[in-house]
Amino acid sequence: MSETGKNQDVQPGRMEVITGPMFSGKSEELIRRLKRAQIARLRIASFKPEIDLRYQSDAISSHSAQTIQAVAVRDLDRLRALLFPALDTVDVVGIDEAQFFDELLVGLAMELVEAGKRVVLAGLDTTFAGEPFAPMPALMAIADEVVKLSAVCMVCGAPAIHTQRLGASQQLVMVGAAGMYEARCRACFRPEGDVPAAEQLKLPS
Ligand SMILES: [Zn+2]
């Protein structure tokens, strides 16, 4: 180890951030990358916050029903306690719903990169109020690669960068709660909340 605390014998790894609104395929892209790593015989470890209760509790799931095994952890202390003792047996670390972890995720991700690991993080870039969703902005700034996906606006069909909250829920995010959120473009986004597109368009919902 050098005086800076970096191990000069280890080649640095790589940080990849996959971001965008809900329904933009972030989890799907994360799973695609992790499955490719598995095919290349790299050893992966995947984590997600316990708050993500949609579908299976021991997997990362996408809306298109792709899954990969993942450990649900209540916080970063738990993630660290599980991952770091086994770090020699891991090449790639995947983290889904990264926006639900606190700012310490930024330092933890850099530690992993400096230890030679490839880190792939997926998470929402903005809240339902359209504000940057920490710690994603900091992760995007220091990543080797950022993939910003768009969804499709459910009102007008344009590319959507926002997650629209439906109804009057004041909760920050209710993960995967069907019917609670829609993807919206800038023009159709209502940060104060909105009725579903189907009602606006008088479509059968
Ligand atoms: Zn629109």
Query: Is residue 186 domain-resident?
Result: no
Query: Is residue 188 domain-resident?
Result: no
What pLDDT is recorded for position 69?
87
**192 among known catalytic residues:** no
What dihedral angle (degrees, nearest 10) is formed by the CA atoms of 93, 96, 97, 102? -10
* Distance, CA of 180 to CA of 184 (rounded, Å): 13
Distance 183 CA to ligand 1 centre (A): 9
**95 touches 48 (CB < 8 A):** yes
Two structure tokens written together for 140 = 């995007």
Distance 201 CA to ligand 1 centre (A): 12
Query: Is residue 135 domain-resident?
Result: yes
What pLDDT is recorded for position 1?
46
Distance 123 CA to ligand 1 centre (A): 22
What pLDDT is recorded for position 52?
54
Number of domains in the chain: 1
Query: Is residue 160 domain-resident?
Result: no
Query: Is residue 185 domain-resident?
Result: no
Distance 154 CA to ligand 1 centre (A): 7
Range of the domain at 30: 3-150
Distance 96 CA to ligand 1 centre (A): 27
Catalytic one among 28, 29, 97, 182?
97
pTM over 0.75: yes
Query: Is residue 194 domain-resident?
Result: no
Distance 152 CA to ligand 1 centre (A): 8
Query: Is residue 180 domain-resident?
Result: no
Distance 138 CA to ligand 1 centre (A): 28
What pLDDT is recorded for position 4?
54
What's 132's domain CATH number?
Answer: 3.40.50.300
Query: Is residue 202 domain-resident?
Result: no
- Kindly give the confidence (pLDDT) of every residue in the chain, 205 residues in length, as a single tens digit, with 9 standing for 90 and above: 445 555 668 899 999 999 999 999 999 999 999 999 999 999 999 999 997 555 556 777 777 667 888 999 999 999 999 999 999 999 999 999 999 999 999 999 999 999 999 999 999 999 999 999 999 999 999 999 999 999 999 999 999 999 999 975 555 555 555 678 999 999 999 999 999 998 887 665 5
